[in-house]
Amino acid sequence: MAQTIVHDTHATHGLTHHEIENLRPDDLRSARRLMWVWVDTGLAIFALMALLGVTMRAEQAGWISFGPDVFYSILTLHGVGMISAMALATMGGIWYMMRLEGPLDERVAYWAYGFIVAGVVAVIVSVFPGKFGAAWTFLYPLPFIGATWAPWATGAFLTGMMLVSVGWSIWCVQLLGCIMQRHGSLRNAMGWDYIFHNRAFTEAGKQPPSAQSFAAMVASIDGLLTGAAGMVIGVALLAHLFNPSVQIDPLWAKNVTYFFGHAIANLTIYMACAWVYVGVPRYAGRSYHTSVPLAVAWWGTLIFVLLAYFHHLYMDFVQAQALQYIGEAFSYLSALPTVVVTIFSCLMLVYRSKMRWTLGSIFIYTGLIGWVVGGIGALLDASIPFNNNLHNTLWVPAHFHTYMLGGVLLFVLGFVFMMLEERTGVASALALRWLVGTTVFGGMSTFLLGFYVAGAAGVPRRYATEPPPGPHVASWATVGAIVMLVGMAIAMIEGIRMATTKPQGRLS
What residues between 325 and 364 interact with another protein by CB under 8 A? 325, 328-329, 332-333, 335-336, 339-340, 344, 347-355, 357
Is 289 a binder of another protein (CB under 8 A)?
no
State which of residues 23, 380, 432, 490 lies at the interface with another protein (CB under 8 A): 380
Q: Which of residues 368, 410, 413, 419 is near another protein by CB under 8 A?
A: 368
> For residue 195, with 0-12 CB atoms within 10 Å meaning exposed, 13-18 middle and 19 or more buried, which class applies?
middle
Query: Which of 152, 246, 467, 501: binder of another protein (CB under 8 A)?
Result: 467
- C-alpha distances in Å from residue 353, one per residue of 124, 366, 493: 46, 17, 30
Give the separation between CA 55 and CA 50, rounded to whole angstroms.
Answer: 9
Choose the stretch contacting another protein; rule: CB under 8 A; options: 94-102, 168-176, 209-217, 323-331: 323-331
502-to-11, 309, 425, 477 alpha-carbon distances in Å:
24, 47, 10, 39
* Cβ count within 10 A of residue 454: 28
Helix, strand or coil, per DSSP, at residue 427: strand
φ, ψ of residue 355 in degrees (nearest 5): -55, 130
List the one residue from 120, 372, 413, 481 that touches another protein (CB under 8 A). Answer: 372
In the complex, the smallest distance separating the C-beta of residue 329 from another protein, rounded to whole angstroms, is 6
**Region 254-283 residues binding another protein, contact defined as CB under 8 A:** 254
H/E segment holding residue 128: none
Instruction: Closer to another protein by CB, 241 or 456: give it.
Output: 456
Query: Is 30 or 319 the residue whose CB approaches another protein more closely?
Result: 319
CA distance 498 to 58: 33
The CB-side HSE value for 447 (13 A sphere, CA atoms) comes to 26
Q: Which of 37, 54, 142, 492 binds another protein (CB under 8 A)?
A: 142
Q: C-beta of 21: minimal distance to another protein in Å? A: 26
Main-chain phi, psi angles of 64, to 5 degrees: -135, 165
241 interacts with another protein by CB under 8 A: no
425 Rama sector, left if φ>0, alpha if ψ -120 to 50, beta otherwise = left
Minimum CB–partner distance for residue 455 and another protein (Å): 8
User: Which window, 90-98, 167-175, 223-231, 324-332, contacts another protein (CB under 8 A)?
Assistant: 324-332
Which CB atom, from 177 or from 471, has the smaller least distance to another protein? 471
- Select from 241, 316, 432, 471 the one that contacts another protein (CB under 8 A): 316
Q: Measured from the CB of residue 370, what is the shortest distance to another protein in angstroms?
A: 10
**Which residue in the set 35, 56, 123, 135 belongs to the binding site for another protein (CB under 8 A)?**
135
Helix, strand, coil percentages (3-state) for the chain, rounded to 5, are 75, 0, 20
Angle at the Cα of 407 (from 273 to 103), degrees rounded to 5?
30
Helix (H/G/I), strand (E/B), else coil: 370: helix
Smaller CB distance to another protein: residue 36 or 476?
A: 476
Q: State how far the alpha carbon of 420 is from the alpha carbons of 150, 276, 359, 366, in Å.
A: 46, 16, 10, 18
Q: Please give the residues from 66 up to 85 whose contact with another protein meets the rule CB under 8 A.
A: 68-69, 72
Q: Is 318 in the site for another protein (CB under 8 A)?
A: yes
Could you tell me how far CA 207 lies from the centroid of its own chain? 29
How far apart (Å, rounded) are the C-alpha atoms in residues 288 and 301? 20
Asked if 15 and 77 touch (Cβ cutoff 8 Å), the reply is no
Residue 54 Cβ vs another protein, minimum distance, rounded to whole Å: 19
Candidates 385, 431, 500, 502; binder of another protein (CB under 8 A) is 385
372, containing H or E segment: helix 359-382
**How many residues in the shown chain lie near another protein by CB under 8 A?**
82
What is the footprint of another protein within residues 112-131 (CB under 8 A)?
none
Select from 47, 48, 108, 147 the one that contacts another protein (CB under 8 A). 147
State in angstroms the smallest separation of the CB of 13 from another protein: 20
Specify the stretch interacting with another protein by CB under 8 A; choose among 89-97, 206-214, 225-233, 389-397.
Answer: 389-397
If one asks whether residue 137 binds another protein (CB under 8 A), the answer comes out as yes
- 139 vs 496, which CB is nearer to another protein? 139
Give the distance, in angstroms, between the CA of residue 346 and the centroid of all CA atoms in the same chain. 19
| 286 Rama sector, left if φ>0, alpha if ψ -120 to 50, beta otherwise | beta
Closest distance to another protein from the beta carbon of 335 (Å): 7
- Bridge-based pairing of strands 426-427 and 3-4 is antiparallel
Q: Whole-number minimum distance, CB 381 to another protein, in Å?
A: 8
- What's the gap between Cα 20 and its chain centre? 27
Verify binding: residue 105, another protein, rule CB under 8 A. no
Residue closer to another protein (CB basis): 137 or 475 = 137
Question: Which one of the spans 41-49, 189-197, 312-320, 480-488 is the region binding another protein (CB under 8 A)?
Answer: 312-320
Return the half-sphere exposure (C-beta side, CA atoms, 13 A cut-off) of residue 309: 21
Q: DSSP E strands: which ranges in 371-506?
A: 426-427
**Residue numbers 438-457 binding another protein by CB under 8 A:** 452-453, 455-457
Given the complex with another protein, which of 37 and 380 has the nearer CB atom? 380
Which of 193, 386, 432, 486 is in the footprint of another protein by CB under 8 A?
A: 386
- Contact segment (CB under 8 A) with another protein among 15-23, 412-420, 458-466, 483-491 equals 458-466
Query: Rounded to 5 degrees, what are φ and ψ at 214?
Result: -65, -40
Of 186, 463, 493, 504, the one binding another protein by CB under 8 A: 463
Which of 62, 114, 177, 293: binder of another protein (CB under 8 A)?
293
